[in-house]
């Protein structure tokens, strides 16, 4: 599937605003892939498709998770987390994408995971820093992303966790584990 085909497919599933966001994620993902040595083609495809299920029916996605996906604990947290693993499933089943690297980049773009590979990190961070995003702390993460991918992800996770804590919202355990994993690796490297 080439870029134009993927964009045409995903555009049908998104609002205009979310499509503009997706284009920003694509731009950021390709730039990060180039900067840090990830596969640019896979980064582009995963970025295009990362929000494929964003506007699917929440009950449909909950049923999909209960019936077909492994992590049922996801159902205990914000419904905003559903579209990533469901999106990976739908992209595979409906669009025939079988590249596990691309599917995992879609699957973990909201929560992260312990042991994220380079492509997963690129798409995760691109979703956070894309140029249309404007919120406290994003510019700092953009600057860090110019020199250190893991440090930028750590800062993005810290911002997200702090945001959720201030609102007394549940924090998905894999997101905390991702933060801890990256901090642990960083300390070992020093």
The conformation of residue 143, written as its DSSP 8-state character, comes to: H
Neighbours of 94 (CB within 10 A): 12
17, pLDDT greater than 90: yes
DSSP code at position 116: -
184 has a pLDDT exceeding 90: yes
Total domain count for the chain?
1
- How large a percentage of the chain has pLDDT more than 70? 100
The per-residue pLDDT for 1 is: 86
Residue 190: the pLDDT is 74
Give the C-alpha distances (Å, rounded to integers) separating 104 from 12, 51, 96, 120, 126.
22, 13, 15, 7, 15
Residue 74 DSSP label: G
Closest C-alpha among 101, 113, 110 to residue 46:
101
Q: What is the pLDDT of residues 92-116, one digit of tens each?
A: 999 999 999 999 999 999 999 999 9
In a domain, 151, yes or no: no
Q: Looking at the domain assignment, is residue 183 inside a domain?
A: no
| 135-150 confidence digits (pLDDT tens) | 999 999 999 999 999 9
Instruction: Work out the angle at residue 11's Cα, subtended by the Cα atoms of residues 40 and 153, and round it to the nearest 5 degrees.
Output: 45
Domain harbouring 48, CATH code: 1.10.3210.10
Structural domain span for residue 114: 3-134
Q: Tokens for 95, please give them.
A: 């669009």
The mean pLDDT value of the chain amounts to 96
**Cα separations (Å) of 8 from 43, 88, 104, 165?**
17, 18, 22, 38
Please report whether residue 147 resides in a domain. no
pLDDT at 69: 82
Tell me if 99 is assigned to some domain: yes
Determine, yes or no, domain membership for 172: no
pLDDT for 70 equals 72
Q: Is residue 73 part of a domain?
A: yes
Q: Please compute the mean of the pLDDT values over residues 146-174 and round it to a whole number.
A: 97
Q: Which two tokens stand for residue 119?
A: 């492509």
Average pLDDT of the residues in 82-98: 97
With CA atoms as reference, report the closest residue to 157 among 133, 181, 134.
181
62, part of any domain: yes
In a domain, residue 89? The reply is: yes
Does the predicted model carry a pTM greater than 0.85? yes
pLDDT in tens, 20-56: 999 999 999 999 999 999 999 999 999 999 999 999 9
Q: Look at residue 30 in the predicted model and tell me its pLDDT.
A: 98
Judge whether 140 and 155 are in contact, CB under 8 Å: yes
Reported for 2-9, long-range contacts at CB under 8 A and 24+ positions apart, including other chains, are 3/44, 3/45, 3/48, 6/45, 6/48, 6/49, 7/48, 9/49, 9/95
So what's the pLDDT on residue 72? 85
């Amino acid at each position: 599937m080439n870029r134009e085909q993927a964009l045409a497919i995903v555009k049908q599933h998104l609002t205009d605003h979310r499509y503009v966001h997706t284009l920003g994620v694509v731009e950021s993902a390709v730039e990060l892939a180039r900067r840090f040595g990830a596969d640019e083609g896979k980064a582009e495809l995963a970025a295009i498709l990362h929000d494929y299920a964003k506007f699917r029916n929440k009950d449909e996605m909950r049923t999909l998770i209960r019936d077909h996906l492994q992590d049922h604990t996801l159902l205990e947290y914000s419904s905003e987390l559903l579209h990533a693993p469901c999106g990976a499933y739908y992209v595979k089943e409906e669009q025939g994408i079988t590249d596990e690297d691309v599917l995992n980049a879609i699957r973990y773009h909201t929560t992260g995971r312990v042991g994220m590979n380079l492509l997963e990190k690129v798409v995760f961070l691109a979703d956070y820093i894309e140029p249309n995003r404007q919120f406290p702390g994003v510019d700092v993460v953009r600057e860090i992303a110019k020199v250190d991918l893991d440090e930028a992800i750590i800062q993005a996770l810290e911002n997200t966790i702090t945001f959720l804590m201030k609102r007394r919202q549940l924090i998905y355990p894999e997101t905390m584990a991702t933060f801890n994993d990256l901090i642990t690796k960083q300390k070992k490297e020093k």
